[in-house]
């Protein structure tokens, strides 16, 4: 079953479940402060690929997912395009869990998302997703289109998701030139990683005039434990407190990408919290950061191009460092590869000249077990990787160096067998790519900060009253710079914070209340943007 209703850290904690009418019978439609896409004002054509398709039972006989059809790019708006945008519109009413869904075109994953949990009266939501980088697929002609949403309905969970999807193709002109994209797209196909099978591989043959190569990893964790891996306890503490029902393996996860068995880079997934996570009241109506548009993590593999030019199949692998042994706890996703070729020659040559990429991150754990289901722990992880290689092209020898400096820390206090939790996590990630030869020295640097703070408290008094309070502080901060020589030529920033709270009280009175404040700021070539949203009990704060 995709999507958990709430976090279960310990056996004494029970999932709050999808609320039926916590804010009355209705609340505001899902909304976010994030910056809308900037769309060209050129002539455009829209192709609807799915109209009000209902998803009731993904496990029926036959299942109603995935929905498949053929996407035919419009002849009236032939490429090359300045932009291509995927638009989704969803509706749901009643009671339902959050569900994951994915979109594929030509077998390539182009989006990974999740659904909101509905009110009794019903909600609707809209998503827009930039798919311009997949233009080589569209340019190749008609492609299979697949939309996969595995829902389940019964007498209790009545919500049926009704989804429409369309793609809009924007033509190019002098003001909006054709987008620069890769020449070819390759994919290893879907992967599924568990503790029993923590690695997956695919075989690919690359163009023999390959010049640059970028990997994109879609990944999500699933299951009652791995969905909340960022809050998991060290194995030693979970083993010492078997009655608490704790999730083990600690809070750190990385997905390692390999080329012919050689580790080539690592993804540290953002702690995405879906609309049923911890307490559904937290996310009404503002979803968690990235919950509706999961990141596609990018890794520059250009230093390895020289190893891939022989016209033979090569193995691309992906592995997870630790995951739960339960049958439904796993990591799933897909790896896409964007290949840029040298249009001035039929063959390039090259070599990997320096490879200092750790086989796994350096992880340390400090644990204090106070007994009785109480403990403190701090977990840190770090990577300092470098890969360098050159490619002989029609415009000279180009050397590419990729550096990753990644740091993670998690400090957690757990009391009362999980009824009292304080969590402070932070990932600090810096990735840079430098190129020289065949042109001026150029460096692109991306720095990301990913803080997550959680406080969770459940109390019981002698009169039989139960009170549950949850507060979070989520963040995503990004700065990307491009420098030519010593001169910064481009800079873009994002500062995104979300602070939701929720309370449930049962006994002498019933309380169901929640609030959230979201702030989003960005700046860059498109200019500054700023928006703040504040909600109380599902409606804009007066």
Encode 174-212 in three state secondary structure.
CCCCCCCCCCEEEEEEEEEECCCCCEEEEEECCCCCEEE
pTM above 0.85, yes or no: yes
Q: Which residues contact 343 (CB under 8 A, 6 or more apart)?
A: 209, 394
* Number of Cα atoms under 13 Å in the Cβ half of residue 308: 28
Q: What is the pLDDT of residue 14?
A: 32
Mean pLDDT over the full length of the chain: 93
* Range 475-496 average pLDDT: 95
Q: What is the pLDDT of residue 324?
A: 77
Residue 417 has pLDDT above 90, yes or no: no
Placement of tokens 């709050």 in the chain: 16
Residue 17 has pLDDT above 50, yes or no: no
Same structural domain, 384 and 312: yes
Q: What is the pLDDT of residue 375?
A: 96
**Which residues form the domain of 219?**
182-540
Measuring CA to CA, which residue among 18, 102, 77, 88 is closest to residue 48?
A: 88
The reply to whether 33 falls in a domain is no
Q: Which residues contact 483 (CB under 8 A, 6 or more apart)?
A: 442, 443, 444, 445, 489
Q: Are 122 and 91 in contact (CB under 8 A)?
A: yes
Q: What is the pLDDT of residue 322?
A: 85
Same structural domain, 188 and 136: no
Neighbours of 174 (CB within 10 A): 5
Q: What is the pLDDT of residue 21?
A: 41
Same structural domain, 214 and 121: no
Select from 125, 153, 173 the last residue of a domain. 173
Q: Are 519 and 33 in contact (CB under 8 A)?
A: yes
Same structural domain, 242 and 335: yes
Q: Are 226 and 323 in contact (CB under 8 A)?
A: yes
Q: What is the pLDDT of residue 18?
A: 43
Same structural domain, 457 and 372: yes
Q: What is the pLDDT of residue 265?
A: 96
The reply to whether 27 falls in a domain is no
Percent of the chain at pLDDT > 90 equals 88
From CA 122, how far away is CA 50, in angstroms rounded? 21
Same structural domain, 361 and 494: yes
Tokens of 256: 């390692």
Measuring CA to CA, which residue among 217, 198, 127, 204 is closest to residue 167?
A: 127
Neighbours of 205 (CB within 10 A): 12
Select from 173, 200, 232 the last residue of a domain. 173
Measuring CA to CA, which residue among 31, 85, 36, 339 is closest to residue 187?
A: 339
From CA 280, how far away is CA 70, in angstroms rounded? 36
Q: What is the pLDDT of residue 327?
A: 66
Same structural domain, 309 and 360: yes
Q: What is the pLDDT of residue 227?
A: 94
CATH of the domain at 96: 2.60.120.230
Q: Is the dihedral of CA 69, 135, 483, 384 positive or negative?
A: positive
Neighbours of 336 (CB within 10 A): 22
Same structural domain, 248 and 155: no
Looking at the DSSP bridge assignments, the partners of residue 443 are 434, 483
The reply to whether 20 falls in a domain is no
Same structural domain, 166 and 187: no
- pLDDT tens for residues 266-298? 999 999 999 999 999 999 999 999 999 999 999
Same structural domain, 123 and 256: no
Residue 16 has pLDDT above 60, yes or no: no
* Range 248-259 average pLDDT: 96
Residue 59 has pLDDT above 80, yes or no: yes
- pLDDT tens for residues 146-205? 999 999 999 999 999 999 999 999 999 999 999 999 999 999 999 999 988 999 999 999
Residue 5 has pLDDT above 70, yes or no: no
Q: Are 269 and 429 in contact (CB under 8 A)?
A: no
Provide the pLDDT confidence category of residue 22 given band limits of 50, 70 and 90.
low
Same structural domain, 199 and 126: no
Domain count, the chain: 2
The reply to whether 500 falls in a domain is yes
Residue 2 has pLDDT above 90, yes or no: no
Residue 49 has pLDDT above 60, yes or no: yes
Provide the pLDDT confidence category of residue 374 given band limits of 50, 70 and 90.
very high
The reply to whether 118 falls in a domain is yes
- pLDDT tens for residues 378-387? 999 999 999 9
* Range 38-59 average pLDDT: 97
Same structural domain, 528 and 435: yes
R_g of the chain, CA atoms, integer Å = 24
Q: What is the pLDDT of residue 24?
A: 66
Q: Which residues contact 18 (CB under 8 A, 6 or more apart)?
A: 5, 95, 96, 97, 117, 157, 276, 280
Provide the pLDDT confidence category of residue 264 given band limits of 50, 70 and 90.
very high
The reply to whether 78 falls in a domain is yes
The reply to whether 16 falls in a domain is no
Select from 111, 139, 173 the last residue of a domain. 173
The reply to whether 3 falls in a domain is no
Q: What is the pLDDT of residue 439?
A: 81
């Amino acid at each position: 079953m995709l999507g958990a209703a709430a976090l279960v850290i310990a056996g004494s904690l029970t999932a709050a479940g999808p609320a039926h009418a916590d804010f009355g019978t209705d609340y505001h439609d899902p909304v976010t402060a994030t910056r809308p896409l900037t769309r060209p004002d050129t002539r455009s054509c829209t192709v609807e690929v799915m109209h009000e398709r209902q998803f009731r039972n993904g496990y029926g006989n036959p299942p109603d997912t995935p929905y498949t059809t053929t996407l035919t790019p419009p002849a009236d708006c032939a490429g090359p395009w300045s932009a291509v945008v995927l638009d989704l519109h969803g509706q749901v009413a009643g009671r339902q869990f959050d569900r994951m869904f994915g979109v594929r075109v030509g077998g390539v994953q182009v989006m990974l998302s999740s659904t909101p949990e509905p009110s009794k009266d019903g909600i609707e939501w809209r998503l827009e997703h930039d798919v311009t980088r997949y233009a080589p697929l569209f340019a190749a002609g008609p492609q299979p289109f697949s939309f996969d949403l595995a829902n389940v309905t019964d007498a209790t969970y009545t919500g049926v998701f009704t989804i429409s999807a369309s793609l809009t193709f924007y033509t190019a002109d002098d003001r909006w030139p054709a987008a620069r994209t890769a020449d070819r797209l390759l994919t290893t196909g879907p992967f599924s990683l568990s503790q029993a099978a923590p690695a997956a591989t695919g075989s690919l043959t690359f163009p023999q005039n390959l010049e640059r190569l970028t990997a994109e990893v879609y990944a999500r964790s699933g299951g009652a434990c791995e969905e909340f891996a960022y809050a998991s306890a060290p194995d030693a503490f979970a083993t010492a407190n078997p009655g608490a029902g704790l999730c083990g393996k600690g809070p750190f996860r990385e997905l390692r990408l390999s080329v012919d068995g050689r580790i080539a880079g690592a993804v540290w997934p953002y702690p995405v919290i879906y609309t049923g996570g911890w307490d559904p009241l937290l996310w009404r109506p503002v979803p968690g950061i990235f919950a509706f548009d999961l990141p596609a993590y990018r890794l520059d593999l250009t230093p390895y191009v020289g190893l891939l030019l022989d016209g033979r199949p090569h193995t691309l692998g992906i592995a997870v460092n630790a995951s739960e042994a339960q049958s439904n706890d796993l990591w799933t996703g897909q790896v896409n590869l964007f290949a840029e070729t040298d249009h001035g020659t039929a063959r390039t040559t090259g070599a990997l000249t320096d490879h200092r990429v750790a086989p796994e991150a350096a992880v340390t754990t400090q644990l204090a077990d106070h007994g009785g289901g109480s403990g403190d722990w701090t977990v840190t992880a770090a990577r300092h990787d470098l890969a360098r290689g050159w490619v002989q092209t029609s415009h000279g020898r180009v050397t590419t160096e990729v550096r990753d400096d990644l740091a993670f820390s998690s400090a957690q206090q757990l009391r009362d067998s999980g009824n009292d939790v304080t969590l402070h996590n932070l990932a600090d990630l810096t990735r840079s790519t430098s190129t020289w030869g065949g042109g001026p020295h150029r460096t692109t640097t991306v720095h990301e900060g990913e803080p997550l703070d959680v406080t969770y408290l459940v109390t019981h008094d002698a009169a039989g009253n139960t009170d549950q309070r949850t507060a979070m502080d989520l963040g995503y901060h990004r700065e990307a710079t491009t420098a030519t020589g010593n001169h910064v030529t481009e800079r873009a920033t994002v500062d995104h914070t979300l602070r939701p709270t929720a309370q449930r009280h049962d006994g002498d009175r019933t309380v169901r209340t929640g609030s959230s404040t979201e702030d989003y700021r960005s700046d860059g070539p498109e200019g500054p943007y700023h928006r703040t949203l504040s909600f109380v009990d599902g409606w804009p704060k007066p």
